[in-house]
Amino acid sequence: MNTLLVVLLIALSVWLLYLGRGKLAWLLPLAVGLLLWRVLGEGGTFGWWLCTVLFLALAGTLAWAPVRRALLSRRLMPMLAPLFPTMSATEREALEAGTVWWDAELFAGRPDWSKLLNQPVPELDAREQAFLDGPCEELCRMLDDWQVLHSDDLPTEVWDFLKREGFLGLIIPESYGGKGFSARANSAVVAKVSSRSVTAAVTVMVPNSLGPAELLLHYGTEAQKQHYLPRLASGAEVPCFALTEPGAGSDAGSMTSHGVVCRGTWEGREVLGMRLNWNKRYITLNKAATVLGLAFKLRDPDGLLGDKEELGITCALIPRETPGVVADKRHDPLGVPFINGPTQGHDVFVPLEFIIGGPANAGKGWRMLMDCLAAGRGVSLPAQSCGAAQLTARTTGAYASIREQFGLPIGRFEGVEEHLAIIGGMTYLMDGARRLTAASIDSGQKPAVITAICKAYLTEGMRTVVNNGMDVVGGAGISRGPRNVLARAYQALPVAITVEGANTLTRSMIIFGQGAVRCHPYALEEIESLAARDVKRFDAAFFGHIAHFFGVFTRASVLGWTHAVIAPTPLEGPAERYFQHFTRLSAAYAVCAEISMMTLGGALKRKEMLTGRLADGLAWLYLGTATLKRFVDAGQPDRDRALFEWAAETALHEVETALLGLLDNLPARFVARVLRWKLFPPLWRFHGPSDRQRAKAARALLDGDPAREALTTGIFVPPATEPGLGALEDALTKVLAAQPVRAKLKDLVREGKLERAREAAQVEAALAAGHLSEAEADCWRAAAAAREDVIQVDAF
């Protein structure tokens, strides 16, 4: 009977822990009680009663918070404080910027799928769609990117069009003369323009990303908004934003650009202002800008604003024509001719009212920047990446259907299929993440961790897709000219990888560094309660943390060894098992993150290879679940199933690979071995897409498949008369139309009615013999001529 009671207690505890409702008050006494029951008489009466008394005593002590705080928590605080990371003021401001959303669900190990599935991802409204189909389409028609690349800027008529049609004011509300578009529309515009010209896309991106307009909207005084926003919206003012310096790149907080509060003369009168000196580089639109957004450190040595001398990072708007401002040189970013270069300021005096938000915002610039970046980096660069990926998918799908070797389209060779699968599957995954992230921003979120993931992993995805595209087109990709569609995207890849926080830094430091504190249900509360020496807060956070860990550990172990078949799923269909698999890996991720923090403490942030793997795990959980969301929102169509399965299988494999790599290198070797066995049973591993799944994903891009059309609806497709993608699309249409004629020729050879010969000779022979009509022969000739034309490369 005693044994049965113990078994029931164990089963109840495990079940409660699996559900995430386990309490520490019952866990430790149960463990001690079971040990004593085993030692003291194998369940004898005395042993059982002793265990019961100890069980109740320990449970009461731990369950009664005042006693627990007095006996345990007060003593634990000084012991545990060194294990928790300390935060600088800039780190704290970065952590507090933005919001926590779906990333917190994934980090905690128990994702609430209704939260994801109920997130609306609406289509563009009528006004936004009209802009995309009208001015945006017209802009793309105006652009000749080959000519742009051989000049030093966009043509004057293009600049005039951008200003006249409001491309520089997409995010500015209509009440200030802008378009007032959603993040989804902003993203769609950038993606479409990117598929045509990187130079034009960057020119559109910068005024609508982190910069004067964004900062003014959130922090500007009404007078500043009324003055600048209508001018920015119309293009009367062109903005740039100066943050990066030679000695302060990714570590922007170490900037040396500075200002001193002082009195000086402005427009003939003495005012309280700032004398500024700066040296910035990599500033996009520096020479074109009429107003410069500037980040600098402000000092008040004479106490003119108060008793604080070091005010901190501040953001101000500086008119380009102000004496002392220099912006007359340009960098050459790998030959892509968007305007970018250095700017310097030498003893530039401006009134304090030029601070964004006025003098009250002196020293608040870092928080302002982090808040805006929390949303902004989830729009522009992810959109550019998706535009390039979609362009690559459409181009390679057509080229691999048209180009033939050994009597077959090259897309039918397995070696090429492997590349096409990566192109199609990654593009599907990337665009799902782009859409979901933009929709979350439109719903009021500023998901700092998720936007960092999108910036880093979508730009890396673009690199993967374009590189694989270059492998498909081969020599046609390395011979530059108007016919070469991919070279210009390939040329610009490192730019997106580097800006707005280099991907290496974002992966190794920012994603998990912020995620571990912001997304964890207890970590931030523990750090803050220790800093405040608040025993009550620490007690609740610490013991809640331990209960959470044991709950998620049990859950992850059960899901691992059952291959997640018992995990609940929100719906049926092709996506059903993937919900279960991502639930399992979310729990496994939570355990691995917990163990990493527990065993390494504050030293973890210096273990950047480990934090990089933890970033990989969280990123691929987000990308994979965004793909699930996209597929389910579309109704799980058969059209997209091959691309969806490739993307989901790849995401699962990447998450598992990251976590296994973490455990292989975790310094606490015994703990790592136990976790590897508990969380990742050898029988249930994710190996990525199978060869069959790869082949299906590749074929979704070939022969004008509907999946290819759906995947690339957001890009600009040039007219048939234009070399490059336009001619490829025209050739594909003709080649597909001629397929029945070619099949008929093969049947005639098989029946002995036609000799084996070159197809051109067979067509003429079949026409003469009456086996083909003149229309069929013309159809074949048109396809052959188009094929011959589009496989040529440019020569000068």
Q: Cα angle at 171 between 259 and 236, to 5 degrees?
A: 65
Q: Rounded CA gap, 556 and 560, in Å?
A: 6
Residue 37, helix vs strand vs coil: helix
The single-letter code of the amino acid at 644 is: F
Centroid of chain to Cα 145: 27
Percent of the chain at pLDDT > 70 equals 90
- Confidence class for position 620, pLDDT limits 50, 70, 90: very high
Look at 396 and 41; give whichever has higher pLDDT.
Answer: 396
Q: List residues bridging with 262 in a β-sheet.
A: 273
Centroid of chain to Cα 772: 54
- pLDDT at position 55, please? 58
- Confidence class for position 210, pLDDT limits 50, 70, 90: confident
Residue 411, helix vs strand vs coil: helix
Least confident of 85-99, 156-170, 366-380, 713-727: 85-99
Sign of dihedral through CA atoms 253, 254, 257, 262? positive
140, pLDDT greater than 50: yes
pTM, two decimals, is 0.91
- pLDDT at position 521, please? 85
Task: From the candidates 105, 237, 500, 776, give the one annotated as an active-site residue.
Answer: 500
Strand ranges for 385-511 from DSSP E: 404-405, 408-409
pLDDT in tens, 573-599: 999 999 999 999 999 999 999 999 889
Strand ranges for 301-369 from DSSP E: 310-319, 325-326, 340-351
23, pLDDT greater than 60: no
DSSP assignment of 384-399 equals: HHHHHHHHHHHHHHHH
pLDDT in tens, 48-73: 565 666 555 655 566 667 767 777 77
pLDDT in tens, 347-381: 999 999 999 999 999 999 988 988 887 778 899 99
CB 95 within 8 A of CB 452: no
- pLDDT at position 191, please? 98
549, pLDDT greater than 70: yes
pLDDT in tens, 743-786: 999 999 999 999 999 999 999 999 999 999 999 999 999 999 99
Q: Rounded CA gap, 307 and 241, in Å?
A: 30
Q: Which residues contact 134 (CB under 8 A, 6 or more apart)?
A: none
Active-site residue, 500 included: yes
Among residues 562, 543, 541, 552, the alpha carbon closest in space to that of 675 is found at: 552
- pLDDT at position 250, please? 75
19, pLDDT greater than 50: no
- pLDDT at position 52, please? 60
Q: Which residues contact 621 (CB under 8 A, 6 or more apart)?
A: 106, 582, 585, 586, 589, 651, 655
- Confidence class for position 86, pLDDT limits 50, 70, 90: low
3, pLDDT greater than 70: no
- pLDDT at position 671, please? 94
Q: Rounded CA gap, 633 and 118, in Å?
A: 10
Rounded to the nearest 10°, the torsion over CA 405, 406, 412, 418 is -70
pLDDT in tens, 460-506: 999 999 999 999 999 999 999 999 999 999 999 999 999 888 999 99
pLDDT in tens, 75-84: 778 887 777 7
